């Protein structure tokens, strides 16, 4: 199974991608998580990416494309993958299509998680992320068992630097101008599924599963 998740910042892509990856035993590839880890570890990639992340801008296509291709080439991705945060521009989508043609791979579905602006702001303000493993919580909708502590690894929960309101506004603008056109791109290829992301986490997951399992039937 190979799936792409689309949706504005805060729509729940990361939350659903982790659940889909567990359900189908496939690899979850989040470009945002790759960049945040690189920034924390101050690797050369992190140094290149940090300014873009802090400003809510997209990291240049050629950097992202190289990172994604080398991640998809790893052995744990051979059973399939769910992409969260990539592609984010039509150029990135075309580069992924070229990569998949070369590897003779097919894309099963593109899931577009639709959420209105009012819900998004609430999600940003309540989001807490583990600084060690990147797990995501929400103070109201998926709270950790112990406040401020990650359930999965015991790490400290923090507010992401790019969740500050001015950066969020920029990220939403960038989404509208650069990523929104991908909806049409994949609709024209008859790969697009739209789900209502304003429902609860479990309801959104059930809706996605309904589509993907129907797709999986012989
Ligand atoms: P990235 O990490 O991909 O950020 P994003 O797309 O802006 O998405 P988010 O991680 O903010 O949100 P999400 O949709 O995953 O929502 P989540 O599940 O956390 O990218 C960060 C940066 O990296 C970019 O700005 C850019 O600089 C760079 N970058 C990354 N990829 C790139 C690319 N391809 N090209 C160029 N640059 C790139 O949910 C949000 C909150 O809501 C959580 O607290 C969650 O618990 C809660 N929640 C989720 N679902 C629900 C629900 N149904 N009901 C209630 N609460 C919910």
Q: How many domains does the chain have?
A: 1
For residues 78 and 1, give the distance between their C-alpha atoms in angstroms, rounded to a whole number. 10
* 87 vs 117 pLDDT, higher one: 87
Tell me which residues have their CB closer than 6 angstroms to ligand 1.
Answer: 7, 9-15, 31-32, 35, 52-53, 56-59, 64, 85-86, 88, 92, 123, 126-127, 136-138, 141-142, 162, 171, 197, 199-201, 204
Residue 165 domain-assigned (yes or no):
no
For residues 150 and 158, give the distance between their C-alpha atoms in angstroms, rounded to a whole number. 10
Residue 11 domain-assigned (yes or no):
yes
Q: Which of 84-88, 155-159, 160-164 has the lowest mean pLDDT?
A: 160-164
Residue 70 domain-assigned (yes or no):
yes
- Mean pLDDT computed over 147-159: 95
Confidence label for 169 from pLDDT (cuts 50, 70 and 90):
very high
Structure-derived torsion over alpha carbons of residues 88, 90, 27, 172, reported in degrees to the nearest 10:
20
User: How would you write 51-80 as a 3-class SS string?
Assistant: HHHHHCCCCCHHHHHHHHHHHHCCHHHCCC
Residue 169 DSSP symbol: H
Residue 80 domain-assigned (yes or no):
yes
pLDDT for position 217:
53
CA 126 to chain centre: 18
- Phi-psi bin for 10: left (phi > 0), alpha (psi -120 to 50), beta? left
Percent of the chain with pLDDT over 90: 88
State the CATH number of the domain containing residue 19: 3.40.50.300
- For residue 30 the two structure tokens come to 């989040």
Confidence label for 203 from pLDDT (cuts 50, 70 and 90):
very high
CA 149 to chain centre: 23
Query: Which one from 13, 36, 109, 128 is the annotated catalytic residue?
Result: 13
Q: Which domain holds residue 63?
A: 2-116+179-216
Q: Is 188 exposed, middle or buried (0-12, 13-18, 19+ CB in 10 A)?
A: exposed
Residue 163 domain-assigned (yes or no):
no
Which tens digits make up the pLDDT trace of 100-147? 999 999 999 999 999 988 889 889 889 999 988 889 999 999 999 999
Confidence label for 215 from pLDDT (cuts 50, 70 and 90):
low
Residue 34 domain-assigned (yes or no):
yes
> Is residue 108 a contact partner of residue 186, using CB atoms and an 8 Å limit?
no
Closest by Cα among 8, 4, 7, 9 to 21: 4
171 given a catalytic annotation: yes
pLDDT for position 119:
87
- Give the global pTM: 0.95
pLDDT for position 117:
82
For residues 35 and 43, give the distance between their C-alpha atoms in angstroms, rounded to a whole number. 10
pLDDT for position 134:
86
Query: Which one from 88, 109, 123, 128 is the annotated catalytic residue?
Result: 88
Residue 196 domain-assigned (yes or no):
yes
Which tens digits make up the pLDDT trace of 6-46? 999 999 999 999 999 999 999 999 999 999 999 999 999 99
> Is residue 158 a contact partner of residue 134, using CB atoms and an 8 Å limit?
no
Residue 170 domain-assigned (yes or no):
no
pLDDT for position 118:
82
* 135 vs 217 pLDDT, higher one: 135
Mean pLDDT of all residues belonging to the chain: 94
Query: Which one from 94, 160, 170, 199 is the annotated catalytic residue?
Result: 160
pLDDT for position 151:
96
């Amino acid at each position: 199974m190979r799936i792409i998740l689309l949706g504005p910042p805060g729509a729940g892509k990361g939350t659903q991608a982790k659940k889909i990856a567990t359900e189908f035993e496939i690899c979850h590839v989040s470009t945002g998580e790759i960049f945040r880890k690189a920034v924390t570890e101050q690797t050369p990639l992190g140094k290149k990416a940090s300014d873009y992340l802090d400003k809510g801008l997209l990291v240049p296509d050629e950097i992202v494309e190289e990172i994604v291709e080398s991640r998809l080439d790893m052995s744990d991705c051979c059973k399939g993958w769910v992409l969260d945060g990539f592609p984010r521009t039509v150029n990135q989508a075309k580069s992924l299509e070229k990569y998949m043609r070369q590897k003779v791979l097919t894309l099963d579905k593109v899931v577009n998680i639709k959420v209105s602006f009012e819900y998004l702001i609430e999600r940003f303000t309540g989001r807490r992320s583990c600084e060690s493993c990147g797990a995501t919580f929400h103070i109201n909708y998926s709270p950790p068992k112990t406040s401020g502590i990650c359930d999965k690894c015991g790490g400290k929960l923090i507010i992401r630097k790019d969740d500050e309101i001015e950066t969020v506004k920029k990220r939403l603008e960038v989404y509208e101008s650069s990523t929104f056109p991908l909806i049409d791109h994949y609709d024209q290829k008859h790969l697009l599924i739209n789900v209502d992301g304003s429902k609860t986490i479990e309801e959104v997951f059930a809706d996605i599963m309904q589509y993907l399992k129907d797709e999986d039937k012989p």
